[in-house]
Structure 1
Amino acid sequence: MSHETQKDTLLELKDYSITFKTPDGEVKAVSNMNLTVKRGERIAIVGESGSGKSQTFLGIMGLLAKNGKTTGQALLEGKDVLSLKPRELDQIRGKDMAMVFQDPMTALNPSLKISRQLTEQLEVHGGLTARAASAAALDMLKRVGIPDPTRRFHLYPHELSGGMRQRIVIAMALLTRPKLLIADEPTTALDVTIQAQILDLFNDLTAEMNTALIMITHDLGVVAGLADRVAVMYAGRIVEEAPVDELFDNPAHPYTAALHASIPRPDQDVDDLVVIPGRPPNLQHLPKGCNFSPRCSQVQDDCIDRPPLLEVLALHHCAACYHPFPRREELLNHG
């Protein structure tokens, strides 16, 4: 890696794995993952429930359940956060990297007013006085589109709507201007119009602060206007990675193509929606070959024998598949 690209790299995962000890044996939630996130870049991590998307980043934040264990490296500006002591991690978490969760009520303390939850972060991580912290927190509430912020500043979480609470959580995450913001299904619990507003908010504020954004979602439709790059996960592995336009124009992995086909379209009958057959594999008993092989329409003998590695298909486009779909221009040239 050149000196210049090293400077641009914010987060680098190297052979990163997560396992959980259970009474029934070990579960490998994430397997040998490699991923690079540049400063200010927006990456979407897409996949079905249970694909390992959330666990990947809970591991980096040091928030795994007690039976979880990480191996490999997660380098934030060259420093391996997996090897930090809890107190060292506390200094980075919330300041340099922050996370927005799916349900804002799990991120907010129901017994504290919004004002205290916002100002505490600035006092602890920013060293601000109570007055300066209040002024900065109120300013951030305005920027995330909270109407009448002065009044709402003094309310408790249960006195606000779901959309408002999610805005508060985003304000809290961005207060310290983190270098990395991880958003875990942040719009799932919200109705469609509020969803669009929240995604616009992520777009504007991360661009303004040059904050790198990792958006975790099961919905490929959400990422089109937001991400620069998409990594598709299946059963604990990245199966495809590409710039967002390339991924939509030329999905190479059959799983990505199936996710793409399952996005509802206004001009399409509900009966025409494609459903991926079968279910995701049991992580304790993964197939010998490609994890997707039992559900794949393109499966052949070599898919069942050994797992495919992530290989470059085109510029910045990788897929872990022995029989990837050809690129659209290749089809046209041969047509």
Structure 2
Amino acid sequence: MTPFFELSDYGVVFDTPDGARHAVEDLNLTVARGETVAVVGESGSGKSQTFNGVFGLLSRNGSTRGRARLEGHDLLTMAERDLDRVRGRDMAMVFQDPMTALNPAMKIRHQLSETLRIHRALPKKRAEAEALAMIRRVGIPDAERRFDQYPHELSGGMRQRIVIAMALLCRPKLIVADEPTTALDVTIQAQILDLFRNLTAEHDTALVMITHDLGVVAGIADRVAVMYAGRIVEDAPVFALYERPAHPYTAALLKSIPRVDREASAVEPIPGRPPSLASSPKGCAFHPRCRYAKARCASERPPLEAIKNDRQVACWFPFGVTRADPSDPSIDEAPHG
């Protein structure tokens, strides 16, 4: 059975004066209809660039490799006019910076209704009515007045909700949301997450949520893909990943966030920094920061391989596999989320 959305041997490369820089490399990811997949990792891990490449939104010195298929159609080989028809109608993106995603010279009314007129061929009045209904649904107060304002007249949180409304208008089959709740207070954040949940349930929409907020991940995702240095290092069902991470980087991420059931002193920052694109280490990219690294980790790059419990991991010594025997005292070394 062909996956609904699939990245195969996918990569993003930037040409620089100092040579090619691989922001994303050998990435494989599938998303089923109605599934929510969270993509997490530190800044610079390649999360946003992965999907900028899928949408054809890389900078001029950027290019893609491999395949990115939506319902069997390769987005990377599409003609520009065909991709224009797909973007906004079949797949939509909620951008991290709403100010740059909105046209500062157009009122909100025109920006939202234009999407419906182009992709769904709605007459002007109906398009405006549906657009107004959607900005009410995303929690914009005094919606009629905001509808006739320019982006600079709105707060950052309101602009974020307008961008979300724009992405939802055509009920796309795939939504990629890049840090969609960053600028929102917790009440509006909860409303937006409920909106995403309802959309995936009502319209069988696939959702990819790019985020640093592991609390958001726990509340909305079915599956989590953890990225580090341009690659996926673990892919697992959300509750399995939180209960027992298999990759040391995943475990370190979970230990680095505060939790209400743990004292503040239990929070452990990850030592060191992620590698730069210009100097990625040989072997496993995480090994210089990994307390469990062995000689093999410094010399050989581990592939992303399937292990038990519907999970994949790129690690030579994953927790719960090499240390699965409860009688083995080294099992206690495996950190839990």
* Range class of TM-score, shorter chain: over 0.9
Contact 2:255 2:268 in 1 (8 A): yes
**1:106 equivalent in structure 2:** 100
- Write the distance in 1 (CA, Å) between the matches of 2:185 and 2:115: 29
1:2-60 deviations in Å (ceiling 9; x for gaps)? xxx32xx2211111011101111111001111111111110000000110000000000
Matched, 1:41 2:35: yes
SS at match of 1:150: helix
**2:249 equivalent in structure 1:** 255
Counterparts of 1:158-237 in structure 2, within 5 Å, are 158-237=152-231
Q: Figure out how many residues of one structure are paired with residues of the other and give that number.
A: 329
**2:240 equivalent in structure 1:** 246
Matched, 1:89 2:80: no
Answer with 140-149 or 275-284: which moved more. Answer: 140-149
1:146-190 deviations in Å (ceiling 9; x for gaps)? 233222211222222222222211111011110000001112233
Q: What TM-score does the superposition give when structure 2 sets the normalisation length?
A: 0.93
SS at match of 1:57: helix
Q: What TM-score does the superposition give when structure 1 sets the normalisation length?
A: 0.93
**1:149 equivalent in structure 2:** 143
State the Cα RMSD in Å: 1.8
Alpha-carbon offset, residue 331 of structure 1: 5.5
Contact 2:46 2:230 in 1 (8 A): yes
Counterparts of 1:289-328 in structure 2, within 5 Å, are 289-326=283-320
- Write the distance in 1 (CA, Å) between the matches of 2:243 and 2:101: 37
Q: Which amino acid aligns with 1:231?
A: A
**1:123 equivalent in structure 2:** 117
1:171-214 deviations in Å (ceiling 9; x for gaps)? 11011110000001112233344333332332223322221110
Contact 2:234 2:304 in 1 (8 A): yes
Q: Which amino acid aligns with 2:272?
A: G
- Write the distance in 2 (CA, Å) between the matches of 1:207 and 1:50: 32
Alpha-carbon offset, residue 104 of structure 1: 1.3
**2:334 equivalent in structure 1:** none
SS at match of 2:4: strand
Q: Which amino acid aligns with 1:181?
A: I
Matched, 1:68 2:62: yes
- Write the distance in 2 (CA, Å) between the matches of 1:92 and 1:310: 30
Answer with 157-166 or 81-90: which moved more. Answer: 157-166
- Write the distance in 1 (CA, Å) between the matches of 2:143 and 2:327: 58
- Write the distance in 2 (CA, Å) between the matches of 1:54 and 1:308: 23
Alpha-carbon offset, residue 252 of structure 1: 0.5
Give the unaligned 5+ runs of structure 2. 330-337
Q: Which amino acid aligns with 1:60?
A: V
1:53 to 47, 50, 54: 47
SS at match of 1:64: coil
Counterparts in 2 of 1:257 and 1:331: CA distance versus 1, 3 Å: farther
- Write the distance in 2 (CA, Å) between the matches of 1:46 and 1:152: 33
**1:14 equivalent in structure 2:** 8
- Write the distance in 2 (CA, Å) between the matches of 1:125 and 1:156: 23
**1:271 equivalent in structure 2:** 265
Q: Which amino acid aligns with 1:221?
A: G
- Write the distance in 1 (CA, Å) between the matches of 2:71 and 2:300: 35
Alpha-carbon offset, residue 334 of structure 1: 5.5
Counterparts of 1:275-290 in structure 2, within 5 Å, are 275-290=269-284
Q: Which amino acid aligns with 1:185?
A: E
- Write the distance in 1 (CA, Å) between the matches of 2:213 and 2:271: 17
Alpha-carbon offset, residue 246 of structure 1: 0.7
Contact 1:118 1:172 in 2 (8 A): yes
SS at match of 2:126: helix
Counterparts in 2 of 1:65 and 1:104: CA distance versus 1, 3 Å: same
Q: Which amino acid aligns with 1:117?
A: Q
Contact 1:103 1:189 in 2 (8 A): no
Contact 1:45 1:215 in 2 (8 A): yes
Q: Which amino acid aligns with 1:200?
A: D
- Write the distance in 2 (CA, Å) between the matches of 1:312 and 1:333: 25
Alpha-carbon offset, residue 287 of structure 1: 1.4
Give the unaligned 5+ runs of structure 1. none
Identity of matched residues, %:
62
Answer with 187-196 or 240-249: which moved more. Answer: 187-196
Counterparts in 2 of 1:288 and 1:174: CA distance versus 1, 3 Å: same
- Write the distance in 1 (CA, Å) between the matches of 2:190 and 2:290: 33
1:70-123 deviations in Å (ceiling 9; x for gaps)? 010001111100001211110101111100012211111122111000110111
Alpha-carbon offset, residue 323 of structure 1: 0.9
